[in-house]
Amino acid sequence: MKLLAVRRLFRIKRVVIRYQLDDLLLALPVPVWLHVLSALLPWRWLPRRTLNLSRGARLRLALEELGPIFIKFGQLLSTRRDLLPPDIADELAKLQDQVPPFDPAKAQALIESQLGARVSEVFARFDAQPLASASVAQVHAAQLNSGEEVVVKVIRPGLAPVIEQDMAWLFLLARLAEKASPDARRLRPVEVVSDYEKTIFDELDLLREAANASQLRRNFEGSELLYVPQVYWDLCRPKVLVMERIYGIQVTDLATLADQRTDMKLLAERGVEIFFTQVFRDSFFHADMHPGNIFVSTRTPWNPQYIAIDCGIIGSLTPEDQDYLARNLIAFFKRDYRRVAQLHIDSGWVPADTKVNDFEAAIRTVCEPIFEKPLKDISFGQLLLRLFQTARRFNMEVQPQLVLLQKTLLNIEGLGRQLYPDLDLWSTAQPFLERWMRERVSPLHLLRNLQLQAEQVPHLSQIARDALERLNQPAAIQAAPAASHQWPARLLGAALIGGAASQGLLLTLATWPAWLMLAGGVYLVLRR
């Protein structure tokens, strides 16, 4: 453990003591042993000054002082007003875009160093006062010399060392948890922390965010569901991002949305549709969809359109993950719990010797109560808790590649709860998923598969030629005279590889014979 990380731990302790966060924890229904343990802490024996702050304000200020990782945790909590007291939820909501800004002079100096020119030369107008400020960056309004209104996003200075120290402690805690508890090993905390580390450091690279925004804009080009601002690539650098300024209503400003007579039911349904479109159609989803990053256009309130900003965190899924999730969700919608149980076993998420009947009964017990209820009557927090308890019984492992997806789904559900409490999340999503599954077997999709396989044929043919050339080399024959009995098998393997190449042109939906031939051929050629 590095010395800086140890110093960071003492800083965290000072913040906890300063804002008396231990009192907030002990006010909750926690186990008796935690009260006993807290009584042994040295600072609880000393006189403590009275803080003239609400409990929500103390928590918010502590998270702000601790830095980006803690702020992001507060942002996630703020989207789940159903799980928090109103006073704490209101305070944590300020973490979405009202984090105290850093010195505007430092921001301007960083912009000039990144762009290699003075701000007055690049922009016709630059507002020194930040427009918004969050955990990783702050935003300034500006105008280009060509007249376009833009925003300039600049990374906070000195973030990387703080994040590195926090990640060191997270990794230590994850490793200790894995060693101490079989349940923790099932949750794979080291892999989860590793994925989060990659995500948070990717967010510090604004060129990556610019690329993400450009891709998301292209995915929804001309869509009435979602608008993504234009990126001005000539003015983007690793620590500076310039993009089109948007004008809209923050999605949580319910009063203003109501004043312009926004169709709230349609707005909530479109939020769900956007999520599933990104996940299943594009496999490219905005994974930081807290309310500070989502606005609603003022142009057509009867046909509301979302506006998304801050694409620093993007998630994606493999085709296998997409297919697995879609089949599971459809089975959930149809209440086919046996199918859900079998899919979990087939995917390897639970041990192969799991009894299907027992697993089916456990899933039914958890999921059946959530159906035929409006969103306002469903606690997804409690549902997830019960699912984790079920997972523990059947030794189901957490899938780190789906952590971002789960976080985003929680954000979407929390947002939908605020916009239209009677939204039925399931009935809104089910038609979309069934349509997506039908499209996967459509002639157009099969034709696309055929084209992709045709593109692979030259590569497969080259593999076959290379294998035959190796077999025909005299040195290879002399080097292994005792292996002459393997020649027929190797020739058969080369023939299988060539056959797989030709099969790739003919097979569309059922591609497994070609790949089976290819695998068998490679094995026969390369085995010793």
Q: Is residue 107 part of a domain?
A: no
Global confidence as pTM? 0.70
Classify residue 221: in a domain, yes or no: no
Chain-centroid distance of CA 365 in Å reads 28
Going by the annotation, the residues of the binding site are 131-139, 153
Residue 124 lies in a domain: no
For 405, the domain range is: 251-440
- Both 404 and 289 in one domain: the answer is yes
- How many domains in the chain? 4
Task: Report yes or no on 125 lying in a domain.
Answer: no
* Identified catalytic residue from 82, 97, 288, 424: 288
Tens of pLDDT along the chain (528 residues) come to 565 667 777 777 787 777 777 676 666 665 666 666 666 666 666 666 666 788 888 888 888 888 777 777 777 667 656 556 778 878 887 877 677 888 999 999 999 999 999 999 999 999 999 998 887 889 999 999 999 999 999 998 888 888 888 788 778 777 876 776 665 566 566 776 777 787 788 888 999 999 999 999 999 999 999 999 999 999 999 999 999 999 999 988 899 999 999 999 999 889 888 988 998 889 898 988 777 789 999 988 999 999 999 888 888 888 878 887 888 878 877 888 898 888 888 877 778 888 889 888 988 888 787 766 665 566 665 566 566 667 667 777 666 567 677 777 777 777 777 888 877 777 777 788 888 777 776 566 556 655 555 555 566 556 666 666 665 665 544 544 444 455 555 555 555 555 554 444 444 444 445 555 555 555 554 555
**Domain check: are 361 and 274 in the same one?**
yes
Question: Do 190 and 319 sit in the same domain of this protein?
Answer: no
Are both 363 and 479 inside the same structural domain? no
Residue where one domain finishes, among candidates 399, 423, 440: 440
**Do both 266 and 374 map to the same domain?**
yes
> What kind and span of H or E run contains 510?
none
Rg (CA), the chain: 28
Residue 169 tokens, joined? 């402690």
- In 3-state terms, what secondary structure has residue 103? coil
What are the start-end ranges of the H helices in 287-355?
A: 319-333, 337-347
Give the span between the Cα atoms of 7 and 162, in whole angstroms: 11
Same-domain check for residues 406 and 500:
no
Of the candidates 423, 341, 350, which has an alpha carbon nearest to the alpha carbon of residue 380? 423
| Together in a domain, 362 and 326 | yes
> Can 321 be counted among the known catalytic residues?
no
Helices 68-78, 86-93: axis angle to 10 degrees equals 130
Residue 379 lies in a domain: yes
Residues 492 and 419 in one domain: no
Checking 372-378 for CB contacts under 8 A at 24+ apart, the result is 374/421, 374/422, 374/423, 374/424, 375/413, 375/416, 375/417, 375/420, 375/421, 375/422, 375/423, 375/424, 375/425, 376/417, 376/421, 376/422, 378/425
Q: Of 217, 208, 216, 201, nearest to 237 (Cα)?
A: 208
Residue 421 per-residue DSSP state? T
Q: Which DSSP letter does residue 129 get?
A: S
Give a yes or no: residue 377 inside a domain. yes
Among 387, 406, 440, the domain-final residue is 440
Residues making up the annotated binding site for ATP are 131-139, 153
Same domain, 327 and 416: yes
Query: Within this chain, do residues 359 and 493 fall inside the same structural domain, yes or no?
Result: no
Please check whether residues 264 and 163 belong to one and the same domain: no
Q: Would 131 be classed as within a structural domain?
A: no
